């Protein structure tokens, strides 16, 4: 799968990130905390591993580039699993695990002068090969975004997934089915036609099936909202998909809750997908929901403790990349006061004088 970030980052940009890590390790500037960040960076996507291997000059020696069978991969993996520098993916150790030293890029690599250098290079190859294979031992791929991050995932069938901030999906393709689990957050799906394989999105209590269409799925804390931008989808309330299908056409939306589902209604698809353009559009939206959206994009969360203030209706268009646009709007409201601290932005009732 090839990933292109929504902010313009391409494979070249990922390779640049890998190069920075490579240089830091070569210079010895990576402490324990940085090592954990490096491990997390590797785990976020197989493309990160591939980029680091390209930089270190090892990628070309992996099994796909070894048609002559020069390496006994089974032995390498068995050896790597016994090495202390193999990073387990099942858990994150409380103590920073050691990271194997990177090899020099192929363009600048010299032949090892001592046998120990050859052994070290082989250990690096085996360790990263094992790490790569463990990540890919399941056909499912997981992708996630952090606060304020968005990315576009291009799937192997030509479909794309626009992943909003603080979102996570798991993608699994088989010969008969294309399935995406929206574990949290929001995603816009553009589905390529494939008559042989149904495209299914599972999110909370909702299952959405589509062929050749575009739709948005937003998994909130207590409900899942499905909005169809183009084409038609079948939505099945209930996580088992056993309920009768509700057909949604372009411009329609419904909400699936744990024990009920709303009827399809006409939707403002521009507002529903405005997040792709880094905009937040509210129309008489309760301040509690506005805060939930705001907190997807900003590290200082918006906090409203007053139940009455949570019901305050907000309208307008705001930038998801500029927190001040919403905060300044709230400051100008006569009924509320904004208190900013280092850790949060609190909205409280303005005292009458």
Domains of the chain listed by start with CATH number = 6-135 (no CATH), 141-271 (2.60.120.1440), 278-349 (3.55.50.30)
pLDDT of the residue at 117: 43
- Given a cut of 90, whether residue 242 has pLDDT beyond it is no
CA distance between the termini of the chain: 61
pLDDT of the residue at 62: 47
User: Which of the residue ranges 52-56, 259-263, 268-272 would you say has the lowest mean pLDDT?
Assistant: 52-56
| Structure tokens belonging to residue 116 | 């120990």
- Given a cut of 70, whether residue 160 has pLDDT beyond it is yes
* Phi then psi dihedrals of residue 219, to 5 deg: -95, 105
Residue 103 and residue 58 in contact, taking contact as beta carbons nearer than 8 Å: yes
Which has the closest alpha carbon to 199: 207, 189, 209, 190? Answer: 209
- Given a cut of 90, whether residue 30 has pLDDT beyond it is no
DSSP 64: G
- Given a cut of 80, whether residue 312 has pLDDT beyond it is yes
Q: Provide mean pLDDT across the span 277-306.
A: 92
pLDDT of the residue at 82: 52
| Structure tokens belonging to residue 151 | 């990315």
* Phi then psi dihedrals of residue 238, to 5 deg: 95, 135
Q: Which of 29-38, 87-96, 105-114, 221-230 has the highest mean pLDDT?
A: 221-230
Residue 34 and residue 24 in contact, taking contact as beta carbons nearer than 8 Å: yes
DSSP 253: E
- Given a cut of 70, whether residue 314 has pLDDT beyond it is yes
pLDDT of the residue at 106: 45
pLDDT of the residue at 231: 94
Q: Is the pTM of this model over 0.75?
A: no
For residue 47, count CB atoms less than 10 angstroms from its CB and return exposed for 0-12, middle for 13-18, buried for 19 or more. Answer: middle
Q: How far apart are CA 38 and CA 212, in angstroms?
A: 38
As a whole number, the mean pLDDT across the chain is 77
């Amino acid at each position: 799968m090839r990933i292109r970030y929504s902010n313009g980052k391409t494979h070249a940009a990922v390779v640049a990130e890998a190069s920075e890590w490579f240089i830091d390790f070569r210079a010895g500037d990576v402490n324990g905390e940085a090592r954990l960040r490096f491990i997390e960076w590797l785990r976020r996507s197989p493309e990160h591993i591939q980029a680091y291997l390209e930089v270190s000059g090892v990628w070309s020696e992996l099994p796909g580039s070894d048609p002559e069978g020069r390496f006994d991969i089974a032995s390498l993996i068995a050896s790597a699993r016994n090495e202390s520098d193999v990073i387990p993916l099942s858990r994150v150790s409380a103590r920073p695990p050691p990271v194997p030293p990177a090899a020099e890029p192929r363009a600048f690599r010299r032949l090892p002068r001592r046998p120990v250098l050859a052994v070290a290079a082989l250990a690096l190859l085996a360790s990263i090969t094992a790490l790569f294979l463990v990540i890919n031992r399941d056909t499912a791929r997981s992708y996630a975004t952090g606060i304020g991050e968005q990315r576009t995932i291009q799937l192997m069938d030509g479909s794309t997934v626009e992943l909003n901030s603080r979102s996570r999906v798991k993608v699994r393709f088989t010969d008969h089915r294309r399935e995406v689990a929206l574990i949290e957050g929001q995603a816009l799906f553009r589905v390529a036609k494939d008559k042989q394989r149904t495209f299914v999105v599972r999110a909370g209590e909702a299952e959405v099936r589509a062929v050749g269409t575009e739709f948005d799925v937003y998994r909130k804390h207590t409900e899942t909202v499905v909005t169809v931008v183009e084409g038609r989808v079948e939505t099945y309330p209930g996580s088992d998909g056993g309920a009768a299908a509700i057909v949604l056409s372009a411009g329609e939306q419904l909400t699936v809750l744990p024990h009920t589902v709303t009827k399809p209604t006409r939707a403002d698809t521009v507002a529903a997908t405005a997040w792709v353009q880094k905009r937040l559009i509210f129309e008489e939206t309760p301040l509690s929901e506005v805060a939930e959206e705001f907190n997807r994009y900003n590290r200082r969360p918006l906090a409203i403790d007053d139940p009455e203030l949570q019901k305050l209706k907000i309208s307008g268009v705001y930038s998801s990349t500029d927190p001040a646009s919403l905060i300044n709007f709230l400051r100008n409201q006569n009924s509320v006061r904004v208190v900013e601290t280092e850790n949060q932005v609190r909205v409280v009732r303005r005292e009458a004088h």
